[in-house]
Amino acid sequence: MSETGTEAATTEEEQEERHGTGHEEEMPRVVVTRRQAIAACLFVLAAVGFLYFVLPKLAGVGETLRRLEGGDVWWIAAGIVLELASFAGYVVLFRAVFVASETRSSGVSGGVAVVSGSSDGAGASASFAGSSAAPAPSGAHSRIGWRESYQITMAGLAATRLFATAGAGGIALTAWALRRSGMEPRLVACRMVAFVVLLYAVYAGSVLIDGLGLGTGLFPGGGSFALTILPAIAAAALIAAVGAMALLPGDFERRLGRWASHSGRLAHWIARAATVPALAASGVRTAIELIRSRDPGLLGAIAWWGFDISVLWAMFHAFGAGGSPPPFTVIWMAYFLGMLGNLLPLPGGLGGVEGGMIGALVAFGVSFDLAVLAVLSYRGISFWLPTIPGAVAYFQLRRTVARWRAEQQGAGASVAAEPARAGSGIEAAGVQAL
């Protein structure tokens, strides 16, 4: 099949999906085997048993946990407000990336413009084409308002916290909802990468700046080489690696596809594997173009992390009993080091994040008792606050998607009926002329 034929076939498939006449995509579900269910139950029972029977018997820890009841109510309330502001920033960032205005989405931020393929389909690609990016469908813009944005983001956050998939559950749910709204799958994939890049660019940049500041003495708080300079080096390497992806040619996948069409099976698999770096490069370029657009909604990434860190800072005030909390720069670094616990195969990093934050704070010289109180109270707010609203948003999202599906099916029926009406009109005109 020629490239033109592949593009035509791809366009036809996208039209079918957009109007609801193609394959109905099911809502992502988590497949739980019996072994996984038993393991999850054992984990919960072990965690509860440790919390209520083992931890209180450790020297001094029992008295520390009882102090959770004596925290400053006003500071705790401030922490809840700050966490709500963090969620609001997440929603704003989501809209800045996925719900672009018609003008911007028809310009530089679409991120997916070139669709190409080889004769065997291995080279089908979606590459960023600079300012000639493809516009997002107008239906997606009209369907995703603030209410729908809230439902998608909160349901995704709940999925991220409840399932031990390192955030993959929330990403899958978000991508599914966006595709059902009418957005092309290639555009969804590209912008999902851009969304993650923008979000974690703040993470890596914060570790780099704070690590260098603490390690060189520019920021108060001190800290060893392993806690300051080493994370900063790792963050700099990550930023450089992700930035280098933008240098990958936009037609990289298409070139490999053409080469694979005239080579053996190994070349075919290499070309198929090239879809991953090609998609990553497209997403990185899209993120760069979004930053160049200076959309204020991108500040939502800073708000997401900044307000969440401020919750931990507020908990130090809530349980500090009038004492001086550690410098904010120490809280800042300990927070991001502890967040690496999300990479562990635990629901929402539960246990790993707390241990990482407490260990980092103690290594910076913070009192163990105060670190335990501040971190556990922070996690009580940040982990559980979005869980119930997120579960409600999940069911609301199901109804919203059902409404979108009905609208797409109605639009598809109208499009299918239009040629029949036009044909009847032409036939009637011909009879009248005779």
**DSSP code per residue over 214-244:** HHHTSSTT---TTTTHHHHHHHHHHHHHHHH
Distances (CA, A) of 99 to 15, 110, 146: 20, 11, 10
What local confidence, expressed as pLDDT, does residue 399 receive? 92
Q: Pick from 324, 60, 71, 98: which is nearest to 196 by CA? A: 98
Which residues, listed in sequence order, are joined to residue 127 by a DSSP beta bridge?
A: 114
What local confidence, expressed as pLDDT, does residue 290 receive? 93
List the beta strands (DSSP E) in 227-379.
none
* Amino acid (one-letter) located at 64: T
**DSSP code per residue over 141-164:** HHH--HHHHHHHHHHHHHHHHHSS
Mean residue pLDDT of the chain comes to: 74
What local confidence, expressed as pLDDT, does residue 422 receive? 55
What local confidence, expressed as pLDDT, does residue 150 receive? 94
What local confidence, expressed as pLDDT, does residue 119 receive? 34
**DSSP code per residue over 50-105:** IIIIIGGGSTTHHHHHHGGGGS-HHHHHHHHHHHHHHHHHHHHHHHHHHS--HHHH
pLDDT confidence tier of residue 18, bands split at 50, 70 and 90? very low
CA contacts within 13 A on the Cβ side of 116 = 19
CB 246, CB 288: distance < 8 Å: yes
What local confidence, expressed as pLDDT, does residue 291 receive? 93
pLDDT above 80 for 122 = no
State what percent of residues in the chain have pLDDT above 70.
59
CB 276, CB 298: distance < 8 Å: no
Sequence ranges of the domains in the chain: 73-408
Rounded CA separation 239/259 (Å): 31
For 322-334, write each residue's pLDDT tens digit: 667 899 999 999 9
Average pLDDT over residues 106-127: 38
Instruction: Choose from 65-69, 152-156, 164-168, 421-425 the range with maximum mean pLDDT.
Output: 152-156
The runs of H, that is alpha helices, within 265-367 are 265-273, 275-292, 300-319, 328-338, 352-363
The widest CA-to-CA distance across the chain, in whole angstroms, is 103
Rounded to 5, what percent of the chain is helix, strand, coil? 75, 0, 25
pLDDT confidence tier of residue 183, bands split at 50, 70 and 90? confident
Comparison of pLDDT for 381 and 257, the residue scoring more: 381
Comparison of pLDDT for 361 and 252, the residue scoring more: 361
**Burial class (CB within 10 angstroms; exposed 0-12, middle 13-18, buried 19+) of 416:** exposed
State what percent of residues in the chain have pLDDT above 90.
35
Average pLDDT over residues 368-372: 87
For 275-294, write each residue's pLDDT tens digit: 777 788 889 999 999 999 99
Which residues, listed in sequence order, are joined to residue 125 by a DSSP beta bridge?
A: 116
Comparison of pLDDT for 404 and 409, the residue scoring more: 404
Rounded CA separation 159/89 (Å): 18
pLDDT above 90 for 88 = yes
What local confidence, expressed as pLDDT, does residue 311 receive? 96
pLDDT confidence tier of residue 314, bands split at 50, 70 and 90? very high
Rounded CA separation 434/430 (Å): 6
Distances (CA, A) of 423 to 46, 414, 416, 420: 70, 15, 12, 5
Indicate the Cα dihedral angle 297, 241, 310, 318, nearest 10°: 160
Average pLDDT over residues 26-43: 56
pLDDT above 80 for 365 = yes
What local confidence, expressed as pLDDT, does residue 235 receive? 96
Instruction: Choose from 63-67, 255-259, 309-313, 413-417 the range with maximum mean pLDDT.
Output: 309-313
Average pLDDT over residues 402-415: 77
pLDDT above 80 for 232 = yes
Average pLDDT over residues 25-52: 56
What local confidence, expressed as pLDDT, does residue 387 receive? 80
Comparison of pLDDT for 118 and 333, the residue scoring more: 333
| CA 30 to chain CA mean position, Å | 18
Please report which helix (H) or strand (E) contains residue 409, including its range.
helix 387-433
* Amino acid (one-letter) located at 316: F
The two tokens of residue 318 are 């809530």
The two tokens of residue 80 are 């809840």
> How many other C-beta atoms lie within 10 A of the C-beta of residue 221?
22
